[in-house]
Structure 1
């Protein structure tokens, strides 16, 4: 299958995540190295496990903090040690189509607001998750 979407080509692979998922939203996801092995469950169910939206939110927010660090380095500063990102990913519908939307709340305690806002802008341009979803889902970012 060839996805005809044009994107920048990867020139150097830094890491490849390998997982095997069975059973869909009521299944199991395992990484090839054994570090990830978790039950999956549908959002809002009482079935034990996590769901893809939670996994996406966790991965994106972790990556985004790394992008904030790179952005700070470009500006010659260091992000505060208590920096955090609260990520909320909604699974919703529009007519018969399933869609995602997201909100990122970014806390950079001790930084001047204008510097924090500049870091957020640069981080969205750096973070691979932000780049992947840019223009594909609605995202609201708030500096706390």
Structure 2
């Protein structure tokens, strides 16, 4: 693979109860363990950051495949839901649900676009076989 861009982030402090910054300073956030996991909450966490990145990346991939198919995705949205829990082996695992809304696209065409985007998206390619990813498609009604 020819690398086109490399993102750099530095985590400091206590990991999930710490701080993250990017090398260019555009991201500079405190982290907190969610209340649901026994923490104080009140700040972002790695799962929220992963969800935001996956949603944005998948939406870009969707727009690329839609442009090729000449499909109208002007009002489309992608919501990523990232769950974390014990994996049964002493560690933790993630599960992702992507909820894609394509209000101007008929359901069958919407499903095809989402399936194609899932093949193109770098996050999907990175997680394939490692994380359960469920694709939910909301097309025209």
Calculate the TM-score normalised by the size of structure 2: 0.89
Cα displacement string for residues 72-112 of structure 1 (whole angstroms, at most 9, x for unaligned residues): 122123422x2111111111013222111111110011111
The alignment partner of 1:77 has SS state of coil
Q: How many residues align?
A: 133
Alignment correspondent of 2:96: 102
Alignment correspondent of 2:78: 85
Contact 2:71/2:105 (8 A) holds in 1 = no
Q: Partners in 1 of 2:116 and 2:19 — Cα distance? A: 36
Residue 50 of structure 1 deviates from its aligned partner by: 0.5
The alignment partner of 2:10 has SS state of strand
Contact 1:69/1:78 (8 A) holds in 2 = no
Contact 2:73/2:104 (8 A) holds in 1 = no
Alignment correspondent of 2:40: 46
Q: Partners in 2 of 1:73 and 1:49 — Cα distance? A: 37
The alignment partner of 1:46 has SS state of coil
* Residue 135 of structure 2 is aligned to residue 138 of structure 1: no
Alignment correspondent of 2:7: 17
Unmatched 5+ residue regions in structure 2? Answer: none
Kindly report structure 1 stretches of 4+ aligned residues shifted beyond 3 Å.
none
The alignment partner of 1:57 has SS state of helix
Calculate the TM-score normalised by the size of structure 1: 0.87
Unmatched 5+ residue regions in structure 1? Answer: 1-9
Alignment correspondent of 2:120: 126
